[in-house]
Amino acid sequence: MKKQIAFSEIAGNSNGYWALLLFFGALIGAALGATWHMEHEGHWVTGMSNQIVWGVPHVFAVFLIVAASGALNVASISSVFEVQDYKALAPLSALLSLALLTGGLAVLVLDLGRPDRLIVAMTSYNFKSIFAWNIYLYTGFFGVVGIYTWVMMDPRFVHFKKVAGSFAMMWRLLLTTGTGSIFGFLVARQAYDAAIMAPMFIIMSFAYGLAIYLLVIMAVYNGANRPLGDYVVCRMRNLLKVFVGAVLYFTLVQHLTNLYATEHHGVELFILLEGGPYTVLFWVGHIFLGGLLPLAILFHPMARTRAWTAIAASLIVLGGLCQVYVIIIGGQAYPLVLFPGMEVQSSFYDGEIYRYLNSLPELVLGIGGFALVAAIIMVAIKVLPFLPESLEDRHVDPEHSAKKEAREAGEKAGASA
Partner 1 sequence: MTSKKTGMDTDAARRRFLGGAAALTTLSLAPGVTLIASAEAKEAHDATSTKMRWGMLIDARKCDSECTLCVDACRDEMGWGTPADRKPRPKTDAQWIRKVHVTDPKTTHTFSLPVMCQHCESPTCVDVCPTGASFKRVDGVVLVDKHICIGCRYCMMACPYKARSFVHEDISNQKPHAPRGKGTVEACTLCVHRVDRGGIPACVERCATAGRKAMLFGDLNDPESEIAKAVAEFATKQIRADLGLNPGIRYQGI
Report the residue number, 49 or 166, with the smaller CB distance to partner 1. Answer: 49
Three-state SS at 350: coil
Q: Which of 1, 19, 302, 342 is in the footprint of partner 1 by CB under 8 A?
A: 342
Cα–Cα distance measured from residue 80 to residue 309, given in angstroms and rounded to the nearest whole number = 26
Cα–Cα distance measured from residue 143 to residue 196, given in angstroms and rounded to the nearest whole number = 28
Note whether 195 binds partner 1 by CB under 8 A: no
Q: Give, as ranges, the residues between 96 and 115 that touch partner 1 (CB under 8 A).
A: 112-115
Q: Which of 13, 15, 16, 188 is in the footprint of partner 1 by CB under 8 A?
A: 188
Please work out the total of residues on this chain that contact partner 1, with binding judged by CB under 8 A: 50
Note whether 139 binds partner 1 by CB under 8 A: no
Q: Which stretch binds partner 1 (CB under 8 A): 4-12, 44-52, 358-366, 374-382?
A: 44-52
Q: 62-81 mask for partner 1 (x: CB under 8 A)?
A: --------------------
CB 361 within 8 A of CB 48: no
| 327 DSSP 8-state letter | I
Residues in the chain: 417
Note whether 411 binds partner 1 by CB under 8 A: no
How big is the chain by its Cα radius of gyration, in Å?
Answer: 23
Q: Which stretch binds partner 1 (CB under 8 A): 36-44, 78-86, 276-284, 293-301?
A: 36-44
Q: Which stretch binds partner 1 (CB under 8 A): 46-54, 96-104, 226-234, 316-324?
A: 46-54
Cβ at position 331, least distance to partner 1 in Å: 9
Report the residue number, 89 or 337, with the smaller CB distance to partner 1. Answer: 337
Three-state SS at 391: strand
Q: Which stretch binds partner 1 (CB under 8 A): 34-42, 63-71, 300-308, 364-372?
A: 34-42
Phi, psi values for residue 178, rounded to 5° = -65, -45
Note whether 156 binds partner 1 by CB under 8 A: no
Note whether 49 binds partner 1 by CB under 8 A: yes
Note whether 336 binds partner 1 by CB under 8 A: yes
End-to-end CA distance of the chain: 35
Q: Which stretch binds partner 1 (CB under 8 A): 6-14, 41-49, 150-158, 223-231?
A: 41-49
Going by C-beta distance under 8 Å and a sequence separation of 6 or more, which residues neighbour residue 278?
270, 271, 326, 329, 330, 333
Q: Give, as ranges, the residues between 351 and 410 that touch partner 1 (CB under 8 A).
A: none
The per-residue DSSP string of 200-258 comes to HHHHHHHHHHHHHHHHHHHHHHHHTT--B-HHHHHHHHHHHHHHHHHHHHHHHHHHHHH
CB 98 within 8 A of CB 149: yes
Q: Which helix (H) or strand (E) holds 335?
A: none
Cα–Cα distance measured from residue 303 to residue 309, given in angstroms and rounded to the nearest whole number = 8
Please, which residues bridge with residue 391 across strands? 228
Cβ at position 124, least distance to partner 1 in Å: 4
Task: Give the distance, in angstroms, between the CA of residue 65 and the centroid of all CA atoms in the same chain.
Answer: 6
Three-state SS at 51: coil
Q: Which of 20, 21, 135, 353 is in the footprint of partner 1 by CB under 8 A?
A: 135
Cα–Cα distance measured from residue 362 to residue 116, given in angstroms and rounded to the nearest whole number = 18
Name which of 357, 312, 321, 296 is nearest 46 in CA terms.
Answer: 357
Report the residue number, 350 or 389, with the smaller CB distance to partner 1. Answer: 350
Q: 203-242 mask for partner 1 (x: CB under 8 A)?
A: ----------------------------------------
Q: Which of 64, 74, 107, 130 is in the footprint of partner 1 by CB under 8 A?
A: 130
Residue 185: Cβ within 10 Å count: 16
Cβ at position 275, least distance to partner 1 in Å: 19
Phi, psi values for residue 11, rounded to 5° = -65, -50
Cβ at position 358, least distance to partner 1 in Å: 13
Q: Which of 7, 125, 167, 283 is in the footprint of partner 1 by CB under 8 A?
A: 125
Contact residues for partner 1 (CB under 8 A)? 39, 41-44, 49-51, 53-54, 112-115, 117-118, 120-121, 124-126, 128-132, 134-135, 182, 185-189, 261, 332, 336-339, 341-350
